[in-house]
Structure 1
Amino acid sequence: MDVVGKALADPEIGRWAPPSADEDAPSWLARREQRWATGWGPSFAVTDAVTGEVFGHIALKHVDPQLRSAEIGYWTLPDARGLGVARHGLGAVTRWAFGALDLHRVELRHSVVNEASCAVARAGGYALEGVMRGYLPGPETGFLDAHLHARIASDA
């Protein structure tokens, strides 16, 4: 829970994925468990393979068995940024989604000004498909444009 508390307090994570006003670590974890149990969104910690230290989080959401599609999102803690953590986590969960869940398409969306997330998407083989105008809630009452990236199961 300490890791989740750090993530919820991190201004960089909050800049791109603001928590709900009433969100704390226990409610965040409970929501992830509920999403997993209902099939709506498996959620994973990204950890060091040797020490088990948690570096980040990656999750599928909006899993649609009929369309065989989902959206993927991630964050990394400050000390893990720039180390390839998001890229490796993205690759692992994408492979799992295409294999274990038999998905056909996984989408990744991020603010057009989030260059780090764009680099992770490209490195993970997610093609940039376009710009979604006014898609993401922004500061105050505004909305931000988002890049839409996607991979399909047949992508190399």
Structure 2
Amino acid sequence: MPSLITPVMPPGSLNASAQPTLTIDDLLVRPWLGSDAAAVARVFQEPMIQYWHLRKADSEDEAREWIEQWRLGWESESACHWAVVNADDDRLLGRVSLQSIIMVGGQAEISYWTAPESRGKGVCSRAVARVSSWALNEAGFNRIELSHSTTNIASCRIAEKTGFALEGTRRRALLHADGWHDMHLHARIGEA
């Protein structure tokens, strides 16, 4: 069946080239490496990471499997996952990703986490701002959504700091280990 619209991002818009490494002052936002598995497994032992996420890593091998899935997202143009690392020593500070990519509409959802020892230093907000800028101004995305539990005040601050306008609340939208959470929906859109 022929389409009535031209895709905002035709197939190959992402995977025709290597996934980029983005720089931000003292940070690198780079593709994941298998050698990041130990750091990912360690971060996912932290109670707050487990609280806001829907799973935990029980081993380095499991974290390595996640990393392989994250890397395959670029190839399939279904997701873009990056490690946020210290530019000097490549120490893992966090993660940022574009998920649920819809190429036809040029849409994705941004998600992120920060290693416990890196919180409160602007790591996450700088990485979210840089990836959003890349997505909207360089990669050709039209709309990036950011969704977080209404009780996650830190995520709401990141959304506000990085220019994601609050569009509304999705009621009982996500089931966490402690029950249903209402979710704020924020978004940034590209220039028309």
Give the TM-score normalised by structure 1.
0.92
Q: How does 1:118-133 map to 2 (within 5 A)?
A: 118-133=156-171
2: CA distance, partners of 1:20 / 1:115? 22
Q: Distance in 2 between matches of 1:52 and 1:26?
A: 17
1:36 touches 1:42 (CA, 8 Å); kept in 2? yes
1 or 2 for the larger relative contact order (CA 8 Å, sep ≥6)? 2
| C-alpha distance 58-17 of structure 1, shift in aligned 2 (>3 A) | same
TM-superposed CA distance for 1:101, in Å, is: 2.3
Q: Which amino acid aligns with 2:98?
A: L
Aligned to 1:105: 143
Alignment gaps of 5+ in structure 2: 1-36
Cα separation, 2, equivalents of 1:119 and 1:101: 25
The range that moved more, 120-129 or 23-32, is 23-32
- Specify the alignment match of 1:8 in structure 2: 44
CA distance in 2: counterparts of 1:65 and 1:106, whole angstroms:
12
Tell me how far apart the structure 2 counterparts of residues 52 and 81 of structure 1 sit (CA, whole Å).
17
Q: In the alignment, is residue 51 of structure 1 matched against residue 89 of structure 2?
A: yes
Cα deviations by residue, 1:6-29 (Å, 9 ceiling, x for unpaired): 122121111111216878212211
Shift of 1:154: 2.6
Gaps of 5+ in 1: none
Alpha-carbon separation, structure 2, partners of 1:43 and 1:27: 14
Aligned equivalents of 2:147, 2:139: Cα separation in 1: 20
Given residue 96 of structure 1, which amino acid in structure 2 is its aligned partner?
Answer: W
Displacement after TM superposition at 1:37 (Å): 1.5
> 3-state DSSP class of the match of 2:174?
strand
Alignment partner of 1:78 is 2:96: no
Residue matched to 1:148:
185
Aligned-pair CA distance for 1:53: 1.6
- For 1:19 and 1:30, how far apart are their aligned partners in 2? 17
Q: Superposed, which structure 2 residues align to 1:24-63 within 5 Å?
A: 24-63=62-101
Identity %, equivalent residues? 34
TM-score scaled by structure 2? Answer: 0.75
Alpha-carbon distance between aligned partners in 2 of 1:93 and 1:85, rounded to the nearest angstrom: 12
Equivalent position of 2:21 in the other structure: none
Contact 1:8 1:25 in 2 (8 A): no
Measured after TM superposition, the shift of residue 103 of structure 1 is: 0.5
Number of the residue aligned with 1:69: 107
Question: Do the aligned residues in 1 keep the contact of 2:94 with 2:112 (CA within 8 Å)?
Answer: yes
